Amino acid sequence: MANNLHILILAAGKGTRMKSETPKVMHTLGGTPMIDHVIIKAKLLKPFKISIMINKSLSGIKKNIPIYKCFCRNLN
């Protein structure tokens, strides 16, 4: 049976409450960016597609995404 699951990861937050210039999703847990933890877990579900919504001002996040073969789209 084909898997028609499409996962949408919302990663548009700037993380201003963290009082850091680093976007929230790029902060590390155990040496790995938080966005990576989410993508790795999402891939375990074997979806046909993973999309990540980011804020246009956080486009620097995109350079980490290609290794996971996800589609990254700007929110604005």
- Catalytic residue ranges: 17
What residue type is assigned to position 13 of the chain? G
Say whether 63 sits in a helix, a strand or coil: helix
Q: Which residues contact 1 (CB under 8 A, 6 or more apart)?
A: none
* DSSP 8-state symbol, 37: H
